[in-house]
Structure 1
Amino acid sequence: MNPQSRSGTEPDPTSEDPRQWPTGRLLFTVTRRIEHDWNAHLAAWDLNHAGHPALLHLLGGPLTQREIAARNEVTEQTMSRVLARLERSGYVTREDDPRDRRRRAVTITDLGRRVALEAARLRPAEDLTSRGLDEHQVETLRELLVAMVRAQRSDDSPAQRSDGETL
């Protein structure tokens, strides 16, 4: 329910009461807490919220840095730093791309595969993201988030994306 419809007034973004915050502030606050907790979880494998999704994408086979960057919705420069860290940890290798000599193919190593799957186990991830919610609330939250992801994807077009890629 929108805070405006309950009280008939604008929400107070300076209030300490989260019920008065705009939806964007609520999402940002929860997202930052989850990101912090998730990074603490991933630190056991020398990973973070940027490197882990890159490893997950590579489980399907080698990709170029550009492809991984597009799938993670970051710039190639950002992904270059992420991949350098993963390479130092022994989780990926970069070699000449046989499809295009100007590019480098990124491949997950056996160690990277084990780490990616271990770090992605469902239970810890769900516990980190659903703290304070009962099963019904988690199910409702998941439905809402899926709807939001789908809506954002349908709104994306190559003209709107800075890298020209579609999801």
Structure 2
Amino acid sequence: MDHQGVPSDALDPASPDPAQWPVGRLLSSAARRVERDWNAHLATWDLNHASHAVLAHLLRSPMSQRELATASSVTEQTMSRVLTRMERSGYVTRAPHDDDRRRHVITITDAGRSAFFVASDRELAASMVTRGLTPEQAEQLRRLLVVVAGERGPEDDPDLSAGSAG
């Protein structure tokens, strides 16, 4: 038996049927599908999930490449490639830091701000993720993903711990 009380042999990670996959494979597959759909949407503005996140960070304030890499959980080399593309698109500018000429300050441009807000249609984004779900299921999925993404246990969420008592 696994931790959910399902016989271990009941799941078949090699099956073509997602209902037979372990949770990790399901979540990974779902994330890839959502990322593919989201990137296809963002491509209209020459953006992808990584560059869209950079614009979101820069809306709060200008940042260094290192700060953006840390905030985005990527290496500085990866962030450099993302920023080069965004600079070509006219979405960000790089300027030398006032106090340290070796560092650059990355700032969102008006075009980047505009692209971010037009591309960030919440209803469209939600529909890409929750197609086929009822509103109640979509909200339950959101609450569960908050727990998974936040590395919190169900005991930290009263709505989830109450529902898992039976």
Instruction: State TM-score, norm by structure 1.
Output: 0.85
Q: Is the 8 A contact 1:46 1:89 kept in 2?
A: yes
Query: Partner amino acid for 2:88?
Result: R
Corresponding residue of 1:17: 17
Q: Percent identity?
A: 53
Q: Is the 8 A contact 1:59 1:108 kept in 2?
A: yes
Aligned residue for 1:79, secondary structure, equals: helix
Corresponding residue of 1:104: 104
Corresponding residue of 1:44: 44
Corresponding residue of 2:137: 137
Corresponding residue of 2:164: none
Corresponding residue of 1:113: 113
Q: Is the 8 A contact 1:3 1:10 kept in 2?
A: no
Query: Partner amino acid for 2:125?
Result: A
Corresponding residue of 1:151: 151
State the shift of 1:6 in Å.
3.4
State the shift of 1:9 in Å.
2.8
Change (3 A) 1:3 1:12: farther
Aligned residue for 2:5, secondary structure, equals: helix
Q: Is the 8 A contact 1:39 1:49 kept in 2?
A: yes
Indicate the structure whose relative CO is greater, using CA pairs within 8 Å and at least 6 residues apart: 1
Change (3 A) 1:130 1:99: farther
Structure 2 segments unaligned to the other structure (5+ residues): 153-166
Aligned residue for 2:106, secondary structure, equals: strand
Q: How many residues align?
A: 151
Change (3 A) 1:8 1:49: closer
Structure 1 segments unaligned to the other structure (5+ residues): 153-167
1:26 equivalent to 2:26? Answer: yes
More helix by share: 2
**Looking at CA atoms only, which structure, 1 or 2, has the larger radius of gyration?**
2
State the shift of 1:3 in Å.
8.9
